[in-house]
Structures are given as structure tokens and as C-alpha cells.
Structure 1
Amino acid sequence: MTQDTRTHTHTELVVDVGPVAHGGHCVARHEGRVVFVRHGIPGEKVRVRLTDDGPSAKFWRADVVEVLEPSPDRVPHFWDLADSGRSWSHRHPPVGGAELGHISLARQRSLKAEVLAEQLKRLAGVDLSPTRQITVEAVGTAAGGHTAESAAERTGPDTGDGDAAVAGLGWRTRAAFAVTPAGKLGMHAHRSDAILPVREMPLAVDAINALRLWDIDLQGIDRVEVAAPANGSRPLVLLVPAPGTRSKRLSSILAQLPDDVSVASLHPTTGEVLQLRGRTYVQESAAGHDYRVTGDGFWQIHRDGPDTLVGAVTGFLHDGGYLAPGSVVADLYAGAGLFTAPLADAVGVTGSVLSVEGAPGTSRDARKNLHDAAHVEIVQGRVERVLRQKPRNFDALILDPPRAGAGKAVVKQLIDAGPRAIAYVSCDPASFARDLGYFRQGGWGMAALRAFDLYPHTHHMETVALLTPQP
């Protein structure tokens, strides 16, 4: 039962928060209409501000502005700008990127597990309850260092959450920022053009915050992307100038940045990365290998993410007997070669690895990263085209598609290629579940599944699944 407490502008409601849904919100109802509520927890009674409504809309969207009956899993938000109640009390929406910061980490993970289970059941027809419960695993230490989360968890209570004010922070090695009209570093509010100035990024590693980009005059810049490798190598600041910005303006910004930081610009239309100072790339490390990643090229953003995912993927393939000296394997949507390099180690010179990446710049990075591995073939192009041109009998494939997933046509092509197993890496439970449904239609099934909390305080997670033909 909901109570209508809206003002004459019809912007506020009191609702009971229902189950979690994919996308960082929970489901509530008002007079039979679905309201997707952000910044709540299932079971709470809250006052919400409608952010997207209308009499003809199929559903409404809302932010929590006041908690009337809190969940025991509610904790103080670690970041004022992302705290919905505090932000709306100052008459502006919260920034995106930390939408679960009001929930204990243990409860965040259980909610993510619920979302994954629901997507698998609804979109793939896979019901894992009650015999195969999903656990979203916390990601702790990386070789040579500790995340803020792991340090807090080692000293925290038995829940593994540690101090709610600090746990789950300091994991982002990459961050993207907008710029306010006044030239200040900022971030967008959720589903909004509004840019709010920021003076900290608590989810980012210390090396990003130490740059103090919020103190710099960024007039003439549309966007700023920062990469600070977990191995401590030289950070890169990538500037995306607004159309018509002159080189003199870029030189002024360059002079405000520390000398030991690489700076480059990204051409807004061609995507070309132009050197301003130092390198146009960062040097990353994972699984015993070094990787060059240029400009805005893709790399897992959690400092422990690359090693975690490599371990999960190779573990599934090794344990199943699909990865051994002499195996024929492929790394699809391979990026700079995160999985390609350990695959090359595992199959040895008697085996072969096909590495396929669509982005030209990232594919060039892969060539440099794997230049001394003669048994690795690096191909730049669309996965479906490359597989048609280079058919072979694969022992195993690694599939790590973009957030939208592989899609029905690619899944059919992969099944037709006849591998013995596919390790599927996904950052989106909905697209993963849809693709899994296509695999199941083709006679394949999910032999194993792991999920990782690589994005604490956000609704995102990473999953790794082992897919095999069913008898």
C-alpha cells in the first residue's frame, strides 16, 4: 500500500521498496504502476522524488530522498555527492557511479546474485535454485598490493564488510570525467545532462586522486579519462577537446599537470590519440605478462580484475581438459591480449592461438604485446567475419564480448565452429543470459559459473561461465 504525498508539482511519493532489478534499482508500485527506485533497499519504506514520469509512461523512475523505515543493511554513504538524500536536499541529483554505496557490501553481493539468478531464469530458462546457489565473490588482494576493500575486510567483522565507511574503495584504476561549463572536473548525474563538479573520486586508486584534476582549469575540454595502472607505472591523462579548442589551451592544461604523468589528446571525430607529453599508452601487468594499452583502449578497471578473470577462465579450461600443450584455441573480442598471453603460455609452441579484436588501435596493442609469440595469430576485424575466413577445429574459445553481448548470429557461428568448450566472460547479466539462451537452443549448456564483485558500490558485476555441448 502506498501513500500519495506528492506536492502540487506531483514529484514525490511514499512507497514500499520491492525486489531488486537489473540496472541498479528496485521495483516499487504506486496505484498499479511500476516505479523503478534507485538508492533504496528491498523492504524499506521511503519517500521518493520522481525523475521520469508521465501519465502515458509504462513505468516511472525515482530517487530516494528520505528513508522512513530503513533496512538493517543500510549504511552511511561514503560519498556525499552520490548520496541521493543528501544531494536532493541540496536541490541537485546525485552523481552516478556509486548507486549502491548506501548498502553493506555483503548485502550488495547478495542482491547482485539475485539479479543474476533472475536474468538467467527469465532470459535463458536456467533455474539454479535451490541446488546451485549463485555466490558473487569478493575480490581481495593482487600480487604486490592490497585494495582498500581487502584492507578493511581483514580488520572488519565476520560479515567481511569491514568499516562501511571505507570498505570497497580505491579499486578503480581508470576513471572518466565530464567537465562543467565553468571548466571544472565533474561527473554526470544518472540519466541526465547535468554535470556536477567533483573534488574526489573515492572508488579510484590513490594515484588518480593524487592528480587533483579538480584544481585544474579545464575550459575547452569535453571529457577527461585517466588511467593509473595497479603496478604503479606512469599514469596517463587523456583529454578530449571540445570542437575548435586551440593547441594553446591544451598547452595551458598540460602545464598544470605533474611532469611525471603522460598526457595525450583524443581527436573527437577520428579517435586518433595524439601525444602531448610522455606516452600515449599505459603499461599494465597481469598473469606474469606486461601489456601496452593505448589511450582509451579497454582494460579491466578493478586493480585485481585482470588476474581474477584470467585465473577463472584458465582454471575452467584447464580443469576440463580443454587447455593443454598442443591445444588450438581462440580469444574473441581479445582487446590488448589479456587472455591471449596466458593462452599462449598454456598451449605452448605446439599449439596455436587466434586472437581477434575489432578496434584497430587495441589490435595494434595486442600485436606489440604478443610480438614474440610465433604461435599466436593476431587479427583485427569483426569476430563473425574472421571466423568465416579462418575456419579451424578449436579445442576451446574465450568469448569476452562488449556489454551488448555476442548476439544470436555470432552464437550460432560459434556453435557451428565446433569447439569442445567456450569460456564466456561477461560484464552484463542480461546480455549474458540472452546469449546463454541462444547457446541452449543450439544444444549447449552451462557446465560451471563464477561471479565476481569487480565493481563494489555499483550494480555491475563480472561473470565467467564454462559452456559445453550437451549430450
Structure 2
Amino acid sequence: MTSWLGRTLEAEVGAVAHGGHCVSRVDGRVVFVRHALPGELVLAEVTEDKGGSYCRADAVRVLRAAPQRVTPPCPLAAPGKCGGCDWQHAAPEFQRELKARVVSEQLSRLAGIDRTVVVEELPGGMLGWRTRMRLVVGRDGRAGMRAHRSHDVVPLPDSPPGGAGPCPIARAGMLDSVVSRRWQPGAELEVTADADGNTHVRELSTVRGKRRARHIRGGVCVEHAAGRTWKLDAHGFWQVHPAAAEALASVAGQWADAPRGGRAWDLYAGAGLFAAVLAGQVGPDGEVWAVESGRRASADGAANLPDLPQVRWHSGRVEQVVRQLPEPAVAVLDPPRAGAGRAVVESIADAGPARVVYVACDPAALARDVATFAGRGYELSGLRAFDAFPMTHHVECVALLARS
């Protein structure tokens, strides 16, 4: 088959697909088109073609626009430029509708569950929400973002027009000092803006073949959620949207409803956000078994919850630890993007909790694990989805699985 790479196609854009693109079909092949919306007619330039049944393309010209199309607030949200945002060209309410369609489609296709989904807006609007970012440094020493599915570095502007900051979705001011200086070419920069308004920067670079992490500024950040103040590794795991941790903790607590004096699990516990909520429910006579593979995160959790001795920390991989834990009344898990996987899900089901609260940042992984739970006697009895990553294709879900 002759490669279509670089070819410009006229494409009728179809349904949204998981990953920040829409599906089109041209001459019998599937074309995944970015920078387009369902129902549009576009000219799309093929950016990737490995010779199979599909290829990837960017909409470089819109011949017939959808009514939900808007002008992106960032000039870098365009074909061939920054790959960080997927939906800046869609109206905010339509972005959430697209994400809802994706969650519904994944549940239907992978778990056989037909469910109407509503993606809920979080406070703060579409811009200025992101508090954690990873940048890369180009050959010229300037900090930037990767282009979509590429190692190319798109530099961020020092003084962009309109005063929106180098990146419109980033917390105001957090990147100003980063883009104004020059860095070691090839380095990565982790930037965190915490709840107290402090910015933390860490440079990751390779020196003489060895990986080196160097704190430029800060290192321990402050966050507020679930009625507590948290001090933790500034570049460890925490929700990137400032309202997400509180929203997720609230829903997880409501649905877990751990019994007083009972036992609960918090798997992939991070710094212990959900463990703190569960500890308040089981009380001093109960137990919360918190499992986290990251030693720094579990150390942060223990340091942040000294007043909750009912939380028992285990540092190790969940799939290795979970079979050793005593049976819980309820379980909460917040796995990485790839999901928990069959082995962990089956271990949870074998332990027999009455309810499982599953926090997920990937709808496909969630759907696969929900299907495994269903095969072990748990039904999806609740689902909420939050727009915790505006302008991107990512969506945060909380699922309640009840033993049938």
C-alpha cells in the first residue's frame, strides 16, 4: 500500500473517539482526525501512516464548520504545534459533551453497559487551572511542549499577546520565570504551583550518562483538601486541577460509606487523600489499609496523617500486597492511567467488599476493569464524571461497584 503520509484529504468528520480526535473514512480507510469536530467537512493532512487500516491526520482547513467551533485561546493549539490540548477549538459545554460520549462509548464497547453520562464542570473555568506541568527543553535552551505524537519541542513564548501567560491553561504566573531563562538542552522541567501560591521547579537532566534531578526552587508543596492541609513532594502525585481533589474525595467518601469500627482499603493511596476520608468514617476503632508503591508518597502520607493511627501504610505494588490484606467492608482504588488490571480486580472481588469505589483517569481502562468486576458479581451502580482537564481529552470518573 502506498503511504498517505503528507497527503491532503477531503474528509467528512464522524464520531468522536477516545484520544482527542474524530473518526473519518476515506477510500475505505479509517482516518483519525485532530483539530476537527463531528459533522465538519475538512481538509486533513496525513501526519502518520504505518500502512495498516488506519492513519492519522490534522485538519488544516475547515470547509464546513460545526456550530460548536470556536477560536482557540492559544495560538499553539494548532496542527503541528503543541500537543498538550485537544479541544480548544470546541465550545466548553461541547467539550464536556464529547468527553461524555467517549465514556459512554467505552462502557458500551468494552463492558457491555449502556449508560448516559454527564461530565460535570469543576469551578474555575477553562483557563488557568493547571497546577502541575512537565516541560521539555529544546536545542536552543528554551522551555516548551512536545508536538503531538512527536519529540519535536514547541517553545513557549516569553511574552505572549493578550497577557494570557506562556500557556493559557496553566495557573497564572507559574511559568513566567521558567520560560524567561535558558536551560540545558534536552532537560525536562517539572513545575508545580501549590495551593499557597508557591511555584516549585525541578530540572531533570542527563549528565555524563547519569540521570540527575535538581530542585531549582521549592520541593515541598502545600495543598488543601478533605478538611486537611497536606505537605508533600511538590512533584509527586496530586490532582492537577485545584478543585479536583476535593470533588473526588467528597464523592469517594459518600459512596464508600465505610462502617464505624470497620475495615477499608485504599489502594494506590498516593499521599492518603482517600485514606483520610475513610479513617474519619471507620473511626479510631476501625482500620484503613493504605497501599502505595511510591516510597516518597507513602512517607508523605504517614507524615500527613499522624493523628489517624487507624491508617496502616504498606509500601509495595498493589498486585503483590492486596492478597495479603485482611478482608475489607469497602475498597477504594485510584490506579494509574493503565487501570488496575485483571489480577488486582479479581483479588479485590475475592476479598468480597460490599462496595468498591473506583477513581479513574482513563475511560477505556475503567471500562475494562468494570467488565472484570461484572464477571465477579459486581454491578456498576453509580458513575460520575468530572472535567478535571479542560481543553484536553482527559476526563476523571468515579464509579461505584456494588456486590450483586
TM-score between both structures, scaled by the size of structure 2: 0.94
Query: What's the counterpart of residue 77 of structure 2?
Result: 82
In the alignment, structure 2 segments of 5+ residues that lack a partner are: 158-165
Structure 1: how far apart are the matches of 2:347 and 2:118? 31
Partners of 1:328 and 1:342 in 2: CA distance: 13
Query: Which residue among 284, 290, 293 is the counterpart of 2:232?
Result: 293
- Corresponding residue number in structure 2 for 1:206: 172
- Partners of 1:315 and 1:70 lie apart in 2 by 42
Shift of residue 275, structure 1, vs aligned partner:
5.1
The letter of the residue matching 1:48 is: A
Matched with 2:39 is: 43
In the aligned structure 1, how far is the partner of 2:390 from the partner of 2:215? 33
SS of the residue 2:70 aligns to:
coil
Q: Count matched residues.
A: 395
Aligned to 1:371: 306
Q: Is the 8 A contact 1:83 1:102 kept in 2?
A: no
- Pairing partner for 2:142 from 160, 184, 188: 184
Q: Which residue of 2 aligns with 1:256?
A: none
The CA distance in 1 between the partners of 2:391 and 2:136, in whole Å, is 20
CA distance in 2 between counterparts of 1:389 and 1:234 reads 40
The RMSD of aligned alpha carbons is 1.9
SS in 2 for 1:208: coil
Change in 2 beyond 3 A, CA 1:221/1:37: closer
5 Å-filtered alignment, 1:275-294, equals: 279-294=218-233
Deviation for aligned residue 1:49: 0.8
Task: Verify: 1:444 aligned to 2:402, yes or no.
Answer: no
Matching of residues 354-369 of structure 1 within 5 Å: 354-369=289-304
Indicate which of 85, 89, 96 corresponds to 1:109. 96
Q: Does the 8 A contact of 1:300 with 1:306 survive in 2?
A: yes
For structure 1, which segment, 200-209 or 297-306, has the greater mean C-alpha deviation from structure 2 after superposition? 200-209
Q: Is the 8 A contact 1:170 1:205 kept in 2?
A: yes
TM-aligned CA deviation for residue 207 of structure 1? 3.7
Q: Is the Cα–Cα contact under 8 Å of residues 332 and 398 in structure 1 kept in the other structure? A: yes
Distance of aligned partners of 1:170 and 1:276 in 2 relative to their CA distance in 1, 3 Å threshold: closer
The equivalent of 2:131 in structure 1 is 173
Question: Match of 1:411, as an amino acid?
Answer: V
State the match for 1:135 in structure 2. Answer: 118
Distance 1:394 1:369 in 2: 23
Cα distance in structure 1, aligned partners of 2:24 and 2:169? 29
Contact 1:326 / 1:351 at 8 angstroms: preserved in 2? yes
When residues 27 and 76 of structure 1 are mapped into structure 2, their CA distance, relative to the original with a 3 A threshold, is same
Contact 1:403 1:427 in 2 (8 A): yes
Deviation at 1:317, TM superposition (A): 2.2
> Quick one: distance in 1 between partners of 2:177 and 2:289?
42
The AA in structure 1 aligned to 2:171 is: V
Q: Percent identity?
A: 41
- Tell me the SS of whatever aligns to 1:342: helix
Query: Alpha-carbon deviation of 1:324?
Result: 3.7
Counterpart-to-counterpart distance in 2, 1:32 and 1:343: 53
2:322 corresponds to 1:326:
no
Q: 5 Å matches for 1:21-420?
A: 21-54=17-50, 56-84=51-79, 93-128=80-115, 133-140=116-123, 147=124, 149=125, 168-199=126-157, 200-209=166-175, 211-220=176-185, 222-229=187-194, 231-244=195-208, 268=211, 279-318=218-257, 323-390=258-325, 392-420=326-354
Does the CA-based 8 Å contact 1:336-1:365 persist in structure 2?
yes
- Give the distance between the partners of 1:244 and 1:342, measured in 2 at CA: 46
Query: The residue matched to 1:339 in structure 2 has which SS?
Result: helix
CA drift of 1:383 comes to: 1.1
Q: Say if 1:184 and 1:214, in contact at 8 Å, map to a contact too.
A: yes
Separation (CA, whole Å) in 1 of partners of 2:23 and 2:401: 32
Residue 154 (structure 1) aligns with: none
Q: Distance in 2 between matches of 1:218 and 1:179?
A: 7
Once the two structures are superposed, what CA deviation does each residue of 1:2-39 show, in whole Å capped at 9, x if it has no partner? xxxxxx98521110000000011100011010000011
Q: By how many angstroms is 1:134 displaced?
A: 1.0
Q: 1:400-428 CA distances to partner (integer Å, 9 max, x unpaired)?
A: 00000011111110000111100000000
5+ long unaligned stretches in structure 1: 1-7, 85-92, 141-146, 150-167, 246-266
Q: Contact 2:82–2:154 (CA<8 Å) still a contact in 1? A: yes
How much has 1:71 moved relative to structure 2? 0.3
> Structure 1 residue runs of 4+, over 3 Å off?
273-277
The amino acid that maps onto 1:285 is H
Mapped partners of 2:340, 2:54: distance in 1 = 29
Shift of 1:328: 1.0
Secondary structure, aligned partner of 1:330:
strand
Please report how far the alpha carbon of residue 83 of structure 1 lies from its aligned counterpart in structure 2 after TM superposition: 2.3
Displacement of 1:450? 0.4
Q: 1:325-380: CA deviations, max 9, x gaps?
A: 21211110000111111221222102111110011111111111122321110110
Contact 1:344 1:373 in 2 (8 A): yes
Match of 1:254 in 2: none
Letter in 1 for 2:174: I
| CA 10–456 in structure 1, closer or farther in 2 if over 3 Å, else same | closer
| 8 A Cα contact 1:34 1:60, kept in partner | yes
